[in-house]
Amino acid sequence: MRLKLVLNLALLFAALSSYGSGLADSVRQNYPVLVNIPGFITLKCDFHLHTVFSDGHVWPSFRVREAERDGLDAISLTEHFDYEGYPEDLKRDGNRSYEIATESAKKTNVLIVKGLEISPRVSPYHHNALFVKDPNKLKYDYMKTIHKQFVMKDSIKRAELMSPFLEVKDQGAFVFYNHPGYSWWDKKDRNIFTDFHQELLDKKILGGVEVVNSGKYNVIGHDMAIKHNLTMIANSDEHYDISNSYKNTHRPMTLVLAREKSVESIQEAMIARRTIVYYDDILIGRKTELEPFFRSAVTVSSEYKKRNEENILVITFQNNTDIPFKLKLSSKYMIEGFPMGRVTVNAKEKVNVILKAVWDSPSATDLQCRVENLFTGVNEDLSTVITLKPL
């Protein structure tokens, strides 16, 4: 087994040597250009990743290389502290994955957030803890075995399940609920947010929830975030080579609106709930974050012109990002050429929209705008008003 692992690692590092050059062209299309909002910088983060130090299949430095390639600012290797995938080959040490990644990241601009996953198969189910100090201090007394399989004890005490959460709280960690409603959970447990979760919330341990996991939108998580005022998070939860999972798009990520690029600033923003979920061409968050992001992403200008003696108002939308925006516009004037006022402003694109019959030529007029791929609620897209002051 040891020889097999050594050979596998050798092949892995050989692959790493050509990783950047072989994928350079395809990678660039999955490296999204975003914008900052006033007072903050937008950090692209993935806070749910695994390596061979739990149930993943790559080395920690490989995760760092992927993150650098994908233009991420921060990642967390959240190994299951209660599972060992290669117990004969790797010495159990909850800090080792983080140490290897941190050393590798010194050559990059990627920040490494120290994290772990708490993963019982009964309530409260899976949670990630970020900004932990020492994973080795956590106890997994609810498990029967952690070697190569998750096997829980037949009789589990609530105190055993609560123990790791109390420990990470003492370490100052930020805890979020992973993929609520996962398929192997007991279907009789219809209350996904259980009394255990309420206790975690009451003890100020639970702070966030995954709204997107592995590229899939979770309506339960989104509703939970709104109902319980939790930080919204998107992660890949990747166990293999991430490029195989997202060949035609970028990986899902949490956009953290931080005051500066540092682990401490990321933690402050997560606690303050200044995040935006980003997957495919969709953004999900609270209006307090989504509206200023959209205003920075799409700049709007306008001017009056004459066309065959007709007064028209030409509105120019300039997209400064790699995210296409699907707009539904309405005005007291007629919108020319876009049925129902639907306008798509593609990545880095400039689009002109003409308002007709502007006979009075006001100094200012409001344009109602709904952004149909930005969501502030489960069934609610971003609504904003753009005040035009034509030249």
Locate 135 and state its tokens.
């994973």
| Residue 5 to residue 31: CA distance in whole angstroms | 32
What is the phi/psi pair of residue 384, to 5°?
-145, 165
**β-strand pairing of 365-377 with 325-330:** antiparallel
Give the pLDDT mean for 256-268.
Answer: 98
| Residue 19 to residue 246: CA distance in whole angstroms | 16
User: DSSP assignment of 362-386, as one string?
Assistant: -S-EEEEEEEEEEEEETTEEEEEEE
Banded model confidence at residue 191, pLDDT cuts 50, 70, 90: confident
pLDDT in tens, 308-353: 889 999 999 999 999 999 999 999 999 999 999 999 999 999 999 9
Residue 308: CA count within 13 A, CB half-sphere = 2
pLDDT of 201 over the 90 cut:
yes
**Measured in whole angstroms, how far is the alpha carbon of residue 265 from the centre of its chain?**
16
**Measured in whole angstroms, how far is the alpha carbon of residue 184 from the centre of its chain?**
23
| Residue 220 to residue 388: CA distance in whole angstroms | 38
Banded model confidence at residue 132, pLDDT cuts 50, 70, 90: very high
What is the phi/psi pair of residue 266, to 5°?
-60, -45
pLDDT in tens, 49-100: 999 999 999 999 999 999 999 999 999 999 999 999 999 999 999 999 999 9
Banded model confidence at residue 22, pLDDT cuts 50, 70, 90: very low
The residue that leads in pLDDT, 74 or 123, is 74
Distances (CA, A) of 3 to 6, 15, 17, 97, 248: 5, 18, 22, 21, 36
| Residue 185 to residue 200: CA distance in whole angstroms | 19
User: DSSP assignment of 127-155, as one string?
Assistant: EEEES-S-GGG---TTEEE-BSS-EE-SS
pLDDT of 25 over the 60 cut:
no
Whether omega before 339 lies within 30 degrees of 0, making that bond cis, reads: no
Which H/E stretch holds residue 161?
Answer: helix 158-170
Beta carbons within 8 Å of 354's beta carbon, 6+ residues apart:
312, 313, 314, 315, 335, 336, 337
Q: What confidence score (pLDDT) does residue 26 get?
A: 39
Give the pLDDT mean for 359-367.
Answer: 92
Distances (CA, A) of 388 to 313, 326, 342, 366: 10, 19, 18, 6
Q: Which of 22-31, 39-48, 163-172, 240-249 has the lowest mean pLDDT?
A: 22-31
Q: Cβ of 277: how many Cβ atoms within 10 Å? A: 26
Q: What confidence score (pLDDT) does residue 248 get?
A: 87
In this structure, which topology does domain 298-388 adopt according to CATH?
Answer: Immunoglobulin-like (2.60.40)
pLDDT of 238 over the 80 cut:
yes
Whether omega before 124 lies within 30 degrees of 0, making that bond cis, reads: yes
Q: What confidence score (pLDDT) does residue 182 get?
A: 80
pLDDT of 124 over the 50 cut:
yes
pLDDT in tens, 147-159: 999 999 999 999 9
Q: pLDDT averaged over the chain?
A: 91
**β-strand pairing of 41-49 with 127-130:** unpaired
- Segments making up each domain of the chain, as ranges: 2-280, 298-388
Beta carbons within 8 Å of 123's beta carbon, 6+ residues apart:
161, 189, 194, 196, 197
| Residue 178 to residue 188: CA distance in whole angstroms | 19
Q: Do domains 2-280 and 298-388 have the same CATH topology?
A: no
Give the pLDDT mean for 237-242.
Answer: 97
| 2-280 is classed CATH 1.10.645.10 | no
Q: Cβ of 7: how many Cβ atoms within 10 Å? A: 10
Q: What percent of the chain has pLDDT over 90?
A: 85
Are 262 and 111 in contact, with CB atoms under 8 Å apart? yes
Banded model confidence at residue 187, pLDDT cuts 50, 70, 90: low
pLDDT in tens, 171-181: 999 999 999 98
Q: What confidence score (pLDDT) does residue 12 get?
A: 47
3-class secondary-structure state, position 346: coil
Locate 112 and state its tokens.
């490494």
Q: What confidence score (pLDDT) does residue 359 get?
A: 84
**DSSP, res 95:** T
Beta carbons within 8 Å of 87's beta carbon, 6+ residues apart:
147, 148
3-class secondary-structure state, position 358: coil
Banded model confidence at residue 23, pLDDT cuts 50, 70, 90: very low
pLDDT of 20 over the 80 cut:
no
